[in-house]
Amino acid sequence: MNIAAVILFLSLATLSTAAPSAPRGLQAAFLKSAALSRKILRDVQALITQYKEVRIGMPSFEDHTLLLSSLPSSQMSYTYWVDMQDEERLKLNCKDLQAFWVHVEIKRFHELSQPSVSTLVHSMEAMSLDLRDLISQLRGQIQALNSTVLDAPDISHSLRTPSCESDWLSNVQGYIIFRDLEIYLHKIIRDFILLQNKY
């Protein structure tokens, strides 16, 4: 495991042990997380536009047939989504956001390794910090519901998956990561709206 992988592992381990204490009011906590999710969504939308221009070379590039198997899916039947328990909903979002965070960090390290570091790296760093904050908020909400917080997932598979043989494929993988994160954030926001209306 290289240095970047070690740093990611230690950072993710910190996420598993540094969850905040349970919030006083769950409705306020869900409202706060919804606001942060909307901020991250705006930032990722801006990053996608910038990323396609800098790394893809085509600002209008769109391809929803491209997939990355290590990324969580936001597809879920409406009936299943409505019937989910609150703890189950929060745990799934927490686990999936951790997977996205790992992928964002991988692309950030890759960007830092480029001969000419672009402004993309600053946007990725800010997004990574916001994702970590949102994950911590989710862990606090899980604890507030008297539920067990999930252990940090094994990231070794995720660390290997985004590697590729060409710069073009690496750039396309970055597009897929940010595109899917944008889609998933819409689900996260919908979840928080549902939860804040319940409490």
Q: What is the pLDDT at residue 162? A: 44
Task: Answer yes or no: is pLDDT of 123 > 70.
Answer: yes
**CATH class for the region spanning 24-198:** mainly alpha
- Per residue in 134-163, pLDDT (tens digit) is 999 999 999 999 877 766 555 545 444 444
Q: What is the pLDDT at residue 33? A: 97
Task: Answer yes or no: is pLDDT of 8 > 70.
Answer: no
pLDDT band at 170, cuts 50/70/90? confident
- Which residues neighbour 85 within 8 Å (Cβ) at sequence distance 6 or greater? none
User: Domain segments of the chain: what residues?
Assistant: 24-198
How far is it, in rounded angstroms, from Cα 126 to Cα 123? 5
- Per residue in 99-113, pLDDT (tens digit) is 999 999 999 998 888
Supply 124's token pair: 């990725």
- Per residue in 45-84, pLDDT (tens digit) is 999 999 999 999 888 898 888 889 999 998 889 999 989 9
